[in-house]
Amino acid sequence: MMGALRLRRPPMRTALVLIDLINDITHPAGAMPTCAAEVERRGVLEAANRALALARRQGWPTMLVKVGFSAGYPELPVHAPIFARARELGALRLGQWGTEFHAELAVEPSDLVLVKHRLSPFHGTALAVMLRAAGIERLLLGGVSTAWALQAAAREGHDRDHRIVLVEDACAAATRDEHERSIEQLSRLATVVRSADLADPGDLPDPC
């Protein structure tokens, strides 16, 4: 008798999205360096670069998202306290040093760059269209802030039926406590891994 046919599931289509690793937020000389100290302390840029290198070796799309506003801040939400000081400080201006990616981030020409005007990388950008066009099932997330943009990205990505993976050592918030509380909350809907875990993506567990 012939043995039972064993079907092997094809590899899960995956993309890496890194959020807001720009000078104004992550560099000590930035205009709003809320996460700079924790990015340095946690080695976030080194972990992000490991994730980028592993994603490129796997052939996964790599997407870099930055928050920014045009001259005059026409996209700035009037009633958004989180962005209230950007205009006052001249921060998050597109085309300026502040919205360039941190020099230590290993950006390559093949990376897809998206600009957002809100917390979520899905809001007002082509991210959802790009992910759908590429048939992406699993979304790896890193960047800043774990308490704000990563929360928004993970929750919306989850509700768009992606399997969410947080690359924990590639994330930071303004404080250690903010980061740890956010990771605890998001672990209910996401798999939490370290950048080194991406070397064998077949072993990444699903969230409980």
Per-residue pLDDT, 10: 62
Q: What is the pLDDT of residue 78?
A: 82
Task: List, in order of start, the domains of the chain with CATH numbers.
Answer: 14-200 (3.40.50.850)
Please report the pLDDT score of residue 47 as a whole number.
98
Model confidence band, residue 82 (pLDDT cutoffs 50, 70, 90): confident
| 207 three-class SS | coil
Q: Is the pLDDT of residue 51 over 50?
A: yes
pTM: 0.92
Q: pLDDT class for 77, splitting at 50, 70, 90? A: confident
Tell me: pLDDT of 3 over 80: no
181/172 Cα distance (integer angstroms): 11
Amino acid, single-letter form, for residue 21: L
Which residues touch 60 (CB under 8 Å, ≥6 apart)? Answer: 14, 15, 16, 140
How confident is the model over 8-33, as pLDDT tens digits? 556 789 999 999 999 999 999 999 99
- Structure confidence at residue 208 as a pLDDT band (50, 70, 90): very low
pLDDT at residue 203 greater than cutoff 90: no
Lookup: tokens for 77: 């939400």
What is the pLDDT at residue 9? Answer: 56
Task: Please tell me whether residue 69 adopts helix, strand or coil conformation.
Answer: strand
